[in-house]
Chain A
Amino acid sequence: ETGVTQSPTHLIKTRGQQVTLRCSSQSGHNTVSWYQQALGQGPQFIFQYYREEENGRGNFPPRFSGLQFPNYSSELNVNALELDDSALYLCASSSQDREQAFFGQGTRLTVV
C-alpha cells in the first residue's frame, strides 16, 4: 500500500472523446508524475507537476494536459482520444526530487 490512489481503475471511451484521470498523492507529497504504459511496454513519462506548476514534460502532444491542486492531488486530461491512447496510466508522487516516488495502481483506459 503506497498511499497513492488513482481513479477510476478502468474506463472505456470512444475515439474523439475526452477523459480525465485522477491521482491522490501520498500525504506530504507535493510532486506528482504521470506515465503511460502501453500493453507489453515500459512506462513512458508524460509530465510532472511540482507545487501546481508543470516542471517537466515528455514527448507527448498538447492534447495531454494536467493539473495539480492545492492539496497536491492531480488530474491528467486527454482530449480527442485516439485508439493508441489505450494504455495503463500511472501516477507517482514524491516529496521532492531526491525522495523516493511511490506509484499508484494505475487507470486502465481503453479507447474503442
Chain B
Amino acid sequence: AQSVTQPDIHITVSEGASLELRCNYSYGATPYLFWYVQSPGQGLQLLLKYFSGDTLVQGIKGFEAEFKRSQSSFNLRKPSVHWSDAAEYFCAVGPYSGSARQLTFGSGTQLTVLP
C-alpha cells in the first residue's frame, strides 16, 4: 500500500531564512510525486510535481524539490522564505501524471514565518 510521511507537523522559520520540508513515501511502482500548499480557507494549490528525468524540480513561488529514489524522499526547499509562505504544505504520491485521481497525501506540515 502506498503511504506518505511528513515527519514535521509544525515548522517555524524567520522571514528570509531557508526552508526544507521533509517528505518520505512508500510506493510499489514508479511514483508521481506532488507538493501542494493550502492557505486557511483555501483549497489546495499545486506547487510542483515530479514524474521522471531531472531529480531537481522547480515550482511556483520560488520552491524546488529534490527526488531521491534511494531515500524514498521528495523534500521541498526554498532559499528565502517570505511571510506570505505561511501555510500548510502537503506532499502527495499517485499513479497518474496530472490528475487528482487516487492521490495519497501526507498529514501535512504547518509553516509559521516569523517577522
Residues of B12-69 at the interface with A, using a CB-CB cut-off of 8 Å, are 36, 41-46
Smallest Cβ-Cβ distance to A92: which chain B residue = B100
Write out the residue numbers on chain A whose beta carbons fall within 8 Å of the beta carbon of B45: 2, 103
Residues A42 and B101 in contact, CB atoms below 8 Å apart: no
CB atoms of B101 and A45 under 8 A apart: yes
* CB pair A94 B106 closer than 8 Å: no
Judge whether B75 is part of the interface by a CB distance below 8 angstroms: no
A43 and B42 CA atoms in complex are apart in Å by 13
B42 & A105 in contact (Cβ 8 Å cutoff): yes
- Which residues of A, 1-41, contact B by the 8 Å Cβ criterion? 2, 4, 31, 33, 35, 40-41
- Give the bracket for the number of chain B residues in contact with chain A: 20 to 34
Residue contact B102 to A101, C-beta cutoff 8 Å: no
Say what secondary structure dominates the interface of chain B.
loop
Known: A42-B107, A43-B90. A103 touches B44 (CB 8 A): yes
- A97: Cβ under 8 A from any B Cβ: yes
**Given A105-B42, A105-B43, A56:B102 Cβ within 8 A:** yes
Interface contact A99-B105, CB-CB below 8 Å: no
The answer to whether A90 and B44 touch across the interface, beta carbons within 8 angstroms, is: yes
Q: SS class of chain A's interface: helix, strand, loop or mixed?
A: loop
Interface size of A as a range? 20 to 34
Instruction: Check A100–B46 contact: CB distance below 8 A.
Output: yes
Expressed in whole angstroms, the minimum distance between the Cβ of B34 and any Cβ of chain A is: 10
Name the B residues within 8 Å of A42 (CB-CB): 4, 90, 92, 105-108
Q: A42-B4, A98-B98, A101-B46 are in contact. List 20 more A-B contacts (CB 8 A).
A: A2-B45, A4-B43, A31-B99, A33-B100, A40-B107, A41-B108, A42-B106, A43-B44, A45-B100, A58-B102, A94-B100, A97-B96, A97-B97, A97-B98, A98-B97, A100-B46, A101-B99, A103-B44, A104-B43, A105-B43
Which A residues fall within an 8 A CB radius of B?
Answer: 2, 4, 31, 33, 35, 40-45, 48, 55-56, 58, 90, 92, 94, 96-101, 103-106
Q: Give me the interface of B with A, judged by CB distance under 8 Å.
A: 4, 36, 41-46, 90, 92, 96-108
